[in-house]
Structure formats: C-alpha cells, structure tokens
A and B are shown apart, each in its own frame.
Chain A
C-alpha cells in the first residue's frame, strides 16, 4: 500500500520557526512535493525535492532523506498569512501525486 503520515495540526506564534514532518511508504518514488492550501482555495506548489538534502526558497525550506523515507517543510519568520493547510505529496509514475492528509498550521499573534 501507499501511505504518507504528517501531523494533523500544528500551532506556532508569529515570528517563530515551525517544522512539519512527513514520512512516507510508497511503491514508487519520484520525489517529495509540498503544497499550501488556504481555506477554500487552490493548493499552491511550494517546493519539490528529488534528491536528498535541503532546498531553500525564501522563508520556506524543504528537506528530504530517501533512506529514511522522511522529509520536512520548515517555515521561518512565521506570519499570520502562513496559517493554512500544508500537504506533503509523493511523486508517482506518470506525474501523479500521492498526498498526505494535510497539516493545519495555525499562527497566533
């Protein structure tokens, strides 16, 4: 079977750093992606890791360890607008995505 595990909820304060972990068990693996979704909106692509290591894009970084079937999304200098759902997704054959259930991030003042 295929499964991805990520925390259902995370709460942090403005200006802080938060890490959202994702572990996966899939039959095929073509990289790990992260998407952000604000209430009722379109999921928005944040990052993609095909190889082990850290990818940085502004305040957001994403990490992958293929040997551990593990990755995380790191959000720095949290802002209120970062409150959203964050999904990790494994890339499957043909380009399809296999999503986790999502982590709801609440940023408090």
Chain B
C-alpha cells in the first residue's frame, strides 16, 4: 500500500505570508494526526481527525493555524500569517486502528519562515 504522502517537502516563506501543507493518508485510514517538531525539541501533537471531524485540536498553537480534512480523505494545514516561531518540521500520521499507537508517518514538510 502507498504510504502517507506530504507536500511540499520543503517550504521557505517570509514572515506574514500564508502557507498550506497537505497530507494524503493511507487510503481507508480514518485517523489522521498532525505533529510538529521545532528544531531540537520533541515532536508535539497538534490535532487529530477521525474521518472529517476534528477529534482533538488541543495542540494547535493559536488561531493562525487552520486544519481541514475534506471528505475524510486528505488534510491541509494552513498557517496564516506565518511567524518565525512556526519554523519546524510538520508531520502527518495516519492509522486505521489507534489501539496500539503504531502509526504510519509521512516524511514531513520542513517549513522555514524568514
């Protein structure tokens, strides 16, 4: 089966601009998670979708971040306007069964805000 796909792989934008990250989960996986790793720190949870519904968005940093999951398939994470501290690697993960916490991660989008 195809893995979790994220694009772009890299994005460099100026402070104040808007960026949209996309994640295509494994087909049929109802659970989709977004995580972020800021340089040198731990990977932090952002939010969780079950199909098209937001199950938990407690990790979203602020209202400059907006996540959507159209029709329960792919998901987008928009940052508007971007700030310097938003730089990091954004990972998406999907799972059909969250009971064993064994998720398939994408390779991430490395976002640099300058």
**Measuring CB to CB, which residues of chain A are less than 8 angstroms from any residue of chain B?**
4, 30-31, 33, 35, 40-45, 48, 50, 87, 89, 91-102
Contacts and interface: CB of A to CB of B under 8 A. Distances in A.
Interface of B: 3-4, 31, 33, 35, 40-45, 48, 55-56, 59, 91, 93, 95, 98, 100-108
B102 A48 contact: yes
Contact of A40 (B45, B48, B103, B107): B107
Given A41-B107, A42-B107, A102-B43, 14 more contacts: A31-B100, A33-B101, A33-B102, A42-B4, A42-B105, A43-B91, A43-B93, A45-B103, A45-B104, A91-B101, A92-B45, A95-B98, A97-B35, A102-B42
Contacts of B105: 35, 42-44
23 contacts: A31-B100, A33-B101, A41-B107, A42-B91, A42-B105, A43-B105, A45-B103, A48-B100, A48-B102, A50-B100, A92-B45, A94-B48, A94-B56, A95-B31, A95-B95, A95-B101, A96-B48, A98-B45, A99-B43, A99-B44, A101-B40, A101-B41, A102-B42
Contacts of B45: 92, 96-98
B39 to A, nearest CB: 11
A93 B42 CA distance: 19
The 5 residue pairs across chains A and B that have the minimum distance between CB atoms: A95-B98, A45-B102, A99-B43, A42-B105, A91-B101
